[in-house]
Amino acid sequence: MPDSNPGPAPSSEPAFSSQPPSTRERLIAGTRQALMTAAAAWISYASSSLIGLREGFWAAISAIVVMQADLTSTENSARDRFIGTAIGGLIGWACALCWHGHLWIYAVAVGLTVFGCWLAEVGAAGRLAAVTVTVIVLIPQSEAIWKIALFRSLEVSWGIAVAVTIAWLVAKLPRRS
């Protein structure tokens, strides 16, 4: 009996294009990325005070950091940033409790943070998690350490949520050819 499966249907699109994007394609992609990033930063910053966050610039920074050219990449970046912030917030809080100006404690906290991210399989988030530790420990504050760690984590999370929402909305828009 002859094989009834003719194989894959021929594709009208090339599997791989060695041509670099045209200037027009780069302008369109760059404009789209710039508008998405600017909207995420603006909305996360402007709305942060409405939900009780005092330092909305952390939300804006996070929105900028996680925004990528497509939804899947933004979601992956957001996941890494969120897990990294949680790890950095917890270790930063613990470090700040026993900090007392000892740089070696801070250095150990940064190392543990990066290591913790690698253990959680989000090694790419290690650098930003270490930034969270640095912000919590080294920036002088007059508030309780737990409040600093909590609010930095909430502000970062808000920026992440706004960026993912904007990337999702843009992904739902019809594309013109």
Average of per-residue pLDDT across 48-56:
95
State how far the alpha carbon of 5 is from the alpha carbons of 9, 57, 71, in Å: 10, 58, 35
Report yes or no on 62 lying in a domain: yes
Q: Which helix (H) or strand (E) holds 162?
A: helix 145-172
Q: Are 34 and 152 in contact (CB under 8 A)?
A: no
Burial degree of 145 (CB within 10 A; 0-12, 13-18, 19+): middle
| The pLDDT value given to residue 177 | 60
Query: What total number of domains does the chain contain?
Result: 1
Report yes or no on 130 lying in a domain: yes
Q: What pTM was computed for the model?
A: 0.81
Confidence check: pLDDT of 15 > 60: no
Report yes or no on 64 lying in a domain: yes
Confidence check: pLDDT of 10 > 50: no
Confidence check: pLDDT of 3 > 90: no
Report yes or no on 99 lying in a domain: yes
Report yes or no on 31 lying in a domain: yes
Report yes or no on 133 lying in a domain: yes
Note the Cα 12 to chain centre separation in Å.
36
Rg (alpha carbons) of the chain, rounded to whole number: 21
- Going by pLDDT thresholds of 50, 70 and 90, the confidence category of residue 76 is very high
Q: Are 113 and 87 in contact (CB under 8 A)?
A: yes
Give the range of the structural domain holding residue 150, as residue numbers without chain letter.
Answer: 25-172
Report yes or no on 116 lying in a domain: yes
**AA letter at 161:** A
Report yes or no on 135 lying in a domain: yes
